[in-house]
C-alpha cells in the first residue's frame, strides 16, 4: 500500500463502529425520553438533549464515557435553587431516580456534577442536567462543597470542529482521532478538548490542509513538530469556540519530539523503498491499529 492507502486504512481502523454508534444512540434516546416525560411532560426521545465532549465533537476513537446535556425547564432551576440545603445534590438525585425508571438494573450514581449511568458493556453515560442561558451556554449543578451553579458552553466548540473540518477538506477530525491513538499508545497526559484545540490551531496555518491522505505522513510529522515546540511553562490554553480555560495535565512536549523524530525516519524509509520498516515506525507512533 502507498502512503494514502495506508493512512486511509488507519483512519478507518480507529473509527467508532456503526454497531457502537447505534447502541449509543438507542440508550441516549431512552434516557432523553425518560427525562422528557418526567420533567417536560412530553413523550419525545430527541428534544432537550445534546451530545457533548469528544463524542459530541465527533473526535473520539474509544467508546467509554459518553457526555450528554439534558436541558430542564427553568421552573426546575427555580425549585432547586430555592431548595433547603444542597439543592444541586437534590436535583442530581431526582434525575438519577428518573433514569432508574428506564434502567432499574443499571448501576446509577449521582456524583458531583453528573448522573453516571454505567452499562455492563463498559460504556458509561455521564448525564448533566442543565438549564438554557440567553447566550447559548448552560447552567448546571455542582453538588460539591455545599452546592453551587456553574456554566458550560460546548456548542461553539462543536461548531468550531464541524466548520474547521468542512473548510479543511475533512482533515481536522481525522487528525484529532489520530492524535488520540498516539495519546493512548504513549500514555500522553492530555484531555480531548486540548487535543482538539491544538489540532485546530495547527490546521489553521498548515500549508497542505486542503490535501488528503497522500499528505498524512507530512501532517503527522508537522503536527508533532508543532506540539513539541509549545512552551513547557505554559499552564493553560483557550479552547476553540468557547475560549474556556484548559489546564494542562502534564508534559507532552518530549513525547511529541520523540515521535516527530520517528516520523522523520518513517518518511525517509518509505522514500527509500523500505515500506515495511516505515510502517513499523508508524506503528511505534500510533499503535497496532496502524496497518503493518
> Residue 120: its pLDDT value, please?
85
Predicted structure pTM score: 0.94
Residues of the chain with pLDDT under 70: none
Separation of CA 159 from chain center: 13
> Residue 66: its pLDDT value, please?
95
The C-alpha atoms of residue 175 and residue 195 are separated, in whole angstroms, by: 9
Q: Is 36:47 a contact under the CB 8 Å cutoff?
A: yes
SS3 175: helix
> Residue 106: its pLDDT value, please?
83
Q: Is 38 left (phi over 0), alpha (psi -120 to 50) or beta?
A: alpha
Q: What is the DSSP string of 88-156?
A: HHHHHHHHHHHHHHH-TTSEEEEETTEEEEE-TTS-EEEEEEEEE-TTS-EEEEE-GGG-EEEEE--HH
Q: Is 152:130 a contact under the CB 8 Å cutoff?
A: yes
Residue 70: its H or E element: strand 65-71
- What is the tens place of the pLDDT at every residue in 226-256? 999 999 999 999 999 999 999 999 999 999 9
What single DSSP character describes residue 273? T
Residue 246: its H or E element: strand 245-247
Domains and CATH numbers, the chain: 18-152 (3.30.460.90), 156-286 (no CATH)
The C-alpha atoms of residue 223 and residue 113 are separated, in whole angstroms, by: 34
Amino acid at each position: 500500500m502507498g502512503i494514502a492507502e495506508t493512512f486511509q486504512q488507519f483512519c478507518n481502523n480507529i473509527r467508532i463502529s456503526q454497531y457502537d454508534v447505534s447502541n449509543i444512540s438507542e440508550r441516549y434516546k431512552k434516557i432523553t425520553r425518560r427525562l422528557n416525560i418526567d420533567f417536560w411532560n412530553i413523550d419525545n426521545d430527541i428534544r432537550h438533549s445534546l451530545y457533548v465532549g469528544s463524542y459530541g465533537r465527533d473526535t473520539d476513537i474509544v467508546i467509554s464515557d459518553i457526555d450528554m446535556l439534558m436541558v430542564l425547564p427553568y421552573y426546575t432551576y427555580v425549585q432547586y435553587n430555592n431548595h433547603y440545603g444542597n439543592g444541586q445534590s437534590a436535583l442530581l438525585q431526582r434525575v438519577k431516580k428518573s433514569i432508574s425508571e428506564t434502567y432499574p438494573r443499571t448501576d446509577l450514581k449521582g456524583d458531583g456534577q453528573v448522573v453516571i449511568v454505567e452499562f455492563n458493556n463498559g460504556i458509561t453515560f455521564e448525564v448533566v442536567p442543565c438549564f438554557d442561558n440567553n447566550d447559548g451556554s448552560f447552567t448546571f449543578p455542582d453538588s460539591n462543597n455545599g452546592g453551587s451553579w456553574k456554566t458550560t458552553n460546548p456548542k461553539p466548540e462543536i461548531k468550531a470542529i464541524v466548520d474547521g473540518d468542512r473548510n479543511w477538506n475533512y482533515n481536522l477530525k481525522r487528525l484529532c482521532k489520530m492524535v488520540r491513538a498516539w495519546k493512548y499508545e504513549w500514555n500522553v497526559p492530555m484531555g480531548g478538548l486540548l487535543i482538539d484545540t491544538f489540532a485546530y490551531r495547527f490546521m489553521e496555518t498548515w500549508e497542505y490542509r486542503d490535501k488528503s491522505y497522500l499528505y498524512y505522513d507530512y501532517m503527522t510529522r508537522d503536527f508533532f513538530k508543532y506540539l513539541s515546540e509549545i512552551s513547557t511553562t505554559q499552564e493553560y490554553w483557550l479552547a476553540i469556540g468557547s475560549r474556556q480555560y484548559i489546564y494542562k495535565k502534564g508534559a507532552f512536549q518530549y513525547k511529541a519530539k520523540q515521535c516527530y523524530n520517528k516520523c522523520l525516519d518513517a518518511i525517509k524509509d518509505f522514500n527509500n523503498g523500505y515500506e515495511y520498516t516505515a510502517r513499523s515506525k508508524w506503528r511505534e507512533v500510533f499503535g497496532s491499529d496502524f496497518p503493518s
